Amino acid sequence: YIPNYGYLVLIDSNYKNIKKQDYTLGQKSNSDKKYKIYSNIYGQCDGKEWDESDLIRMSFKGFKNTINPNEFSNSFTNVGGTKPPEDIMDLLSKIYNDATSGSKTNHNIEYYIYTYMRMFLNNRVGTLHCCFDLL
C-alpha cells in the first residue's frame, strides 16, 4: 500500500500458463517443469532440494520482472491494465536500473525496498504490535 497514493500492490497469478492436467499436487513431473514459487519449505521437489543461492537468484529474477517498467507497455493497457502515474513509473525505472546495473548488483530485495520505498513504509514496520495499536 502506498499511503496517500491509494495503490495496493498485489502480485498474483491466475496460473493460466499451467496445463489442466498439471493441477493435481503430488504428480510426478519432469525436471524441466517451471513452477510459480520455488522453496524448500515443503521438502524436496522432483527429488531436488534447492540451493539457497538458487532460491535467492530466482526470487531476485522475479523481483526484477515485477518492477520492470516495460511491463506497463501498450500490451498491458490493451488488455485493461492501468499504467501507474509517471512519478511511480520513474521510481520503478530507478529501482530497475539499480537492480540491473551490472555484476555488483545487490540481490537483497530488502535493500531496494528500504532504499527506494522507505517514504512509503509505516514507521512501525518491523516492530511488534501493542494493545494501543488496536484502538
Number of structural domains in the chain: 1
In a domain, 27, yes or no: no
Percent of residues, the chain, with pLDDT higher than 70: 58
In a domain, 107, yes or no: yes
In a domain, 65, yes or no: yes
In a domain, 109, yes or no: yes
In a domain, 71, yes or no: yes
Give the separation between CA 44 and CA 89, rounded to whole angstroms.
39
In a domain, 41, yes or no: no
**pLDDT grade, residue 42 (50/70/90)?**
low
Which residue would you say has higher pLDDT here, 11 or 52? 52
C-alpha dist (Å) from residue 40 to 26, 50, 51, 54, 128: 15, 6, 9, 11, 27
**pLDDT of the residue at 5:** 59
Range of the domain at 85: 51-125
- pLDDT tens per residue, range 83-130: 888 998 999 999 999 999 877 788 888 899 889 988 877 676 666 666
Q: Is 67 exposed, middle or buried (0-12, 13-18, 19+ CB in 10 A)?
A: buried
Find the mean pLDDT for residues 70-88: 88
In a domain, 80, yes or no: yes
